[in-house]
Amino acid sequence: MTRIASIKATEVIVPARPGSLNSEEVIDKDAAFAQKFLTGERWTEFANQPKWIIELTLQNGLTGLGETYRSAEAAPIGEAMNTLVGQDVLKLNWRRLPITDQRIYEAFESAVLDVVGKLLGVPVSQLLGGAYRDRIDCFGWTGRRTPEDAARKAWEAMQKGHKAFKFKCSDEDPVRLWTEAIREKCGDGIRILLDPNQRWTDVETTLRLMEGVDKSIMLGLEDPILHGDVAGYKYLRETLGMPMYRHISLPYTQDIRDMIAFVRADAVDGYNFNGSAYNCVLLAEIAHLEGKACWRGSEVDLGISETMGLHIAAASVSCTLPSDLFGELVRTDDLLVDPIHFEDGAARVPQGPGLGIELDRDALDRYSTNQILTSTYE
């Protein structure tokens, strides 16, 4: 009765809320950046890229849910479905499922752990080793803004209880003016993390852009320069006198070993991790041994993936920085019957068995592209 009887994958497109990304005046023209992160012709089109919702059903009728990263392709999803269908979920190695494509791996991992949690009557966080916390602090978040809009978005997040706000930015953005406007409007009520996604490229550009920025408002910088410049991260950490963070993103062909060079050099103050559940828990353990904090990263996802992220953050010993779980600020729907519950800028980790959520089938139908894959055990 614990054998996988069928798997269904439904492609969906859930767009962004109007005004949730860049200011209208800020046009992102970096096509190479957009191509690298699979967002379409421009970064601001990322929410228009398809995702797939996975429903994995056992012979006993229990179903587990998963959600792919954006721009996942049908062919590897179909292959993974055919590989898993018919297998006994209690005999799988949950840490190393037989799936190689990292854009879809987490969706199937989520579905397997969700249904196993329902079988055993425990939340997914317990399957990952147990929870350290039942609330996860989360960032407010937006794209590139005018200074006035930056202050407005930070203010809105502060009113919802967020203690920190994350901005995407490029080397064209007047970040000093952003922080000045935010300080004037928000006072000491919120701190700022700037995330250029390596688009500041080098130390010289970063020092220029950060000149005159009020350090007391800064939570820090995430990935300002190219990942390969470990010495540059260390230099910026020492020179700017503010925290530096490195994003380890396994779905973008990065490797757990990418972290080792930063550990050896003591180059950053903490990490942003996203990838499969057991790998992220492992990364958090490494950060803990280094004496550094981390947070759970994302791709501004829908509710299934973000709930999985909550369980991962709960089970990660060093996950004490605000996490990138804020899809409700950006997406028009999360596809859940009951949305993630936020309180004072923190999300509650569901305590029910498995993920502890229910798929909103009306919303699934509404946002479906009508491309559906199925695989059944004969």
Helix (H, G, I), strand (E, B) or coil at 346: strand
Same domain, 91 and 158: no
Helix (H, G, I), strand (E, B) or coil at 246: strand
Q: Is residue 163 in a domain?
A: yes
Cα–Cα distance measured from residue 306 to residue 252, given in angstroms and rounded to the nearest whole number: 18
For residue 86, the one-letter residue type is G
Same domain, 189 and 301: yes
Q: What is the CATH number of the domain that holds 65?
A: 3.30.390.10
Instruction: Tell me which residue range forms the domain holding 202.
Output: 135-348
pLDDT classification of 143: cutoffs 50, 70, 90: very high
- For 159-183, the pLDDT digits (tens) are 999 999 999 999 999 999 999 999 9
Report the b/e string of 290-300 with b at 16+ CB within 10 A: bebbbbbbbbb
Cα–Cα distance measured from residue 216 to residue 300, given in angstroms and rounded to the nearest whole number: 27
What the block records as the tokens of 39 is: 């967002």
Residue 270 pairs in a beta bridge with 245, 293
Which uninterrupted H or E stretch holds 241? Answer: none
Place of tokens 């060093």: 318
| Residue range 176-201: mean pLDDT, rounded | 96
Q: Report whether pLDDT(349) > 70.
A: yes
| φ, ψ of residue 221 in degrees (nearest 5) | -120, 135
Q: Is residue 126 in a domain?
A: no
Range list of H helices, the chain: 31-36, 74-84, 102-120, 124-127, 147-159, 175-186, 203-210, 230-240, 258-265, 277-290, 303-314, 327-330, 361-367
User: What do you get for the CA distance between the two ends of the chain, in Å?
Assistant: 14
Same domain, 69 and 171: no
Hey, how many other C-beta atoms are within 10 angstroms of the C-beta on 155? 17
Q: Are 206 and 225 in contact (CB under 8 A)?
A: yes
The pTM assigned to this predicted structure is 0.96
Q: What is the CATH number of the domain that holds 325?
A: 3.20.20.120
- For 63-85, the pLDDT digits (tens) are 999 999 999 999 999 999 999 99
- For 13-67, the pLDDT digits (tens) are 999 999 888 888 888 877 787 677 777 777 788 889 999 999 999 999 999 999 9
Same domain, 188 and 328: yes
Same domain, 85 and 229: no
Q: Report whether pLDDT(257) > 90.
A: no
Same domain, 366 and 344: no
Report the b/e string of 117-147 with b at 16+ CB within 10 A: bbbeebbbbbbbeebebebbbbbbbbbbbbb
Q: Report whether pLDDT(253) > 70.
A: no
Cα–Cα distance measured from residue 72 to residue 80, given in angstroms and rounded to the nearest whole number: 12
Same domain, 54 and 90: yes
Cα–Cα distance measured from residue 167 to residue 221, given in angstroms and rounded to the nearest whole number: 10
Instruction: Please give the pLDDT value at position 227.
Output: 94
Number of domains the chain is built from: 2
Same domain, 76 and 212: no
- For 111-139, the pLDDT digits (tens) are 999 999 999 999 999 999 999 999 999 99
**Nearest-5° angle of CA 240, CA 346, CA 283?**
60
**Is the four-CA dihedral 126, 128, 130, 134 of positive or negative sign?**
negative
| Residue range 203-219: mean pLDDT, rounded | 96
Same domain, 69 and 180: no
- For the chain, the average pLDDT equals 95
Place of tokens 């408002």: 217
What the block records as the tokens of 344 is: 């004072």
Question: Is 259 or 43 the better-scoring residue by pLDDT?
Answer: 259
pLDDT classification of 252: cutoffs 50, 70, 90: confident
Q: Is residue 353 in a domain?
A: no
Instruction: Please give the pLDDT value at position 286.
Output: 96
Helix (H, G, I), strand (E, B) or coil at 172: coil
Query: How many residues are there in the chain?
Result: 378
